[in-house]
Structure 1
Amino acid sequence: MVSRDNSSTSFGAVADVYESARPDYPSAAVEWLLESVLEAGERPLVADVGAGTGKLTRIITAAGCDAVAVDPDPAMLDALRDAVPGVPAHVGTAESLPLDDGSVDAVLLGQAWHWVEPVAASAEIGRVLRPGGTLGLIWNIRDESVPWVRRLNSVVSRGGALAMFDDGPPPVAEPFHQLDEERWTWSRTVTRSQLTDLVKSRSFYITATTDERNGIDRNLTALFDDVGLTGSTTIELPYVTRGFRATRPIR
């Protein structure tokens, strides 16, 4: 959702599906990312970069922060303005932020850092953060330790985030150094229709050819039938939320 290729700006075509299908972020995880700026005592200003439809933005504001949203896709920002009225929203990327030097207390990216060029993005985020400010990265990851989820991921593509995690923690560069990490496990109750929409909100599906989509649909149908997910039947979709944070040095 931030910049790396055309897939990152494909979501606006299905903004309504993205908004309804994608899970929210655990409040505890976002509060952990913002811990140091919340402890400062004043209402911090937080930039949500790659904000999409505002899934993370609304948790930021609920935590007691003011927010500004940045996304490369104007259609996603239109949906965000409806979902989170009053939050300033600007077209931009992690590598080119429409924000002044030292103007924000924290910059958060949800489901987004795997889209960016980390050296350029780290430098640009360092520019807009005040000294001592926080860079926070967060992902909701489907829990592959569960067999049916592992099969789901084989059907729909594990995605760029999991591929990145295969190589270790998210890469960051100057002015950031060590990333702290925490994890939260939880599950979301979903129907067959909701899980189908979740798949359709993914960039690999949005940008697939008709033949590729038909093949994915057939494999999903077989999977849903095998796990007994029919009609209004529900299933627990397990997640691991991974959060990472780093501080911009004061000097």
Structure 2
Amino acid sequence: MTEQSLRSSFGGAAAAYAEHRPDYAQAAVRWALEAAPGRRVLDLGAGTGKLSATLVAVGADVVAVEPDPAMLAELCRTLPAVRALPGSAEAIPLPDASVDAVLAGNALHWFDMAVAGAEIARILAPGGILAGLWNILDDRVDWVAELERVSGSAAIGPRDTLGSWRAATAGMLVPNSGLVARFGSAEQVEFPHGQRRTAESLVATLATRAGMLVMPAQQRDDTLGRIRAFLESRPETAHGEFTLPMLTGVLRARRR
């Protein structure tokens, strides 16, 4: 499978993505924005609006940009008051210096940063903030670590657990990314963010991962069946609702 096939896989599952993907910890969003010079925020690669909704909740003035038409339609349906535009990180449809912060929820790793870096710097006001946010599983919890092993990398991949997130994101602001000349060194912080789930809703959530969406149907069904059987075998997850131990990880840098 190619990077492009993974990146473009979400539109066909837009409704499931909107229903099952988690939101973002408000404390993480507030921390990402605390150093911004103002409250004008771009949610870049906004998907179905999971991060936009949290930005609205903390009082930001939000504009959302998303390249996939199906994902953008879900965003417009669920958040009709948010200004939402078609576009990409590599071609942002906003004027120069028009926002104080650019946030990307589970999306920064999909950007071609050699191109997107210049675009993000262009639309940011001086001293503006770039922050990537990722919802990650807390694999310090035994059953979560075992779930990662059972699920395989298509369902729980790099950046999806605390154990892998820091290493996977630390290299995103490096010399060949085109960002070092425009942004200072990045900070990484994690914020607790448990989510209420059932075994079935967690299976549905993992089914929206890019690696799962591009799998052949039989292989996907087998993988989801294996995950379901594991969750039904564990006392923590077998009976009704449980709290899925998660964190929202933030990578934050300031425009020079």
Q: TM-score, normalised by structure 2?
A: 0.87
1:110 & 1:9 partners in 2: Cα distance?
Answer: 16
2:189 & 2:167 partners in 1: Cα distance?
Answer: 17
Question: Given the alignment, which residue of 50, 57, 60 partners 1:55?
Answer: 50
* Secondary structure of 1:81 counterpart: helix
Segments of 5+ residues of structure 2 without an aligned counterpart are: 174-178
Instruction: Assess if the C-alpha contact under 8 Å between 2:100 and 2:125 holds in 1.
Output: yes
Matched, 1:185 2:183: no
Specify the code of the residue in structure 2 equivalent to 1:78. A
Deviation of 1:225 after TM superposition, in Å, equals: 2.3
1:95 to 1:170, Cα distance in 2 relative to 1, 3 A? farther
Instruction: Assess if the C-alpha contact under 8 Å between 1:156 and 1:199 holds in 2.
Output: no
Q: Equivalences for 1:224-239 in 2 at 5 Å?
A: 224-228=231-235, 229-230=237-238, 233-239=240-246
Q: Give the RMSD, CA atoms, in angstroms.
A: 2.0
2:188 & 2:167 partners in 1: Cα distance?
Answer: 16
* Secondary structure of 2:170 counterpart: coil
2:35 & 2:194 partners in 1: Cα distance?
Answer: 28
Specify the code of the residue in structure 1 equivalent to 2:12. A
- Please name the residue that 1:98 is paired with: 93
Cα distance per residue 1:231-250 (max 9 Å; x no partner): x612221112111211111x
- Please name the residue that 1:18 is paired with: 17
Matched, 1:81 2:76: yes
2:31 & 2:138 partners in 1: Cα distance?
Answer: 21
- Please name the residue that 1:29 is paired with: 28
Q: Equivalences for 1:1-251 in 2 at 5 Å?
A: 5-37=4-36, 40=37, 44-154=39-149, 155-157=151-153, 158-162=156-160, 165-167=166-168, 169-172=170-173, 173=179, 174-228=181-235, 229-230=237-238, 233-249=240-256
Deviation of 1:97 after TM superposition, in Å, equals: 1.1
Cα distance per residue 1:39-79 (max 9 Å; x no partner): x5x6x221101101111101112222211111111101111
* Secondary structure of 2:140 counterpart: coil
2:7 & 2:71 partners in 1: Cα distance?
Answer: 11
Identity across the alignment (%): 37
Q: Which moved more, 1:145-154 or 1:187-196?
A: 145-154
1:236 & 1:164 partners in 2: Cα distance?
Answer: 21
Deviation of 1:11 after TM superposition, in Å, equals: 1.2
1:168 & 1:217 partners in 2: Cα distance?
Answer: 27
Return structure 1 stretches of 4+ with deviation > 6 angstroms: none
* Secondary structure of 1:16 counterpart: helix
Cα distance per residue 1:111-156 (max 9 Å; x no partner): 1111122222222100111111111111110111222212222314
* Secondary structure of 2:35 counterpart: helix
- Number of residue equivalences: 242
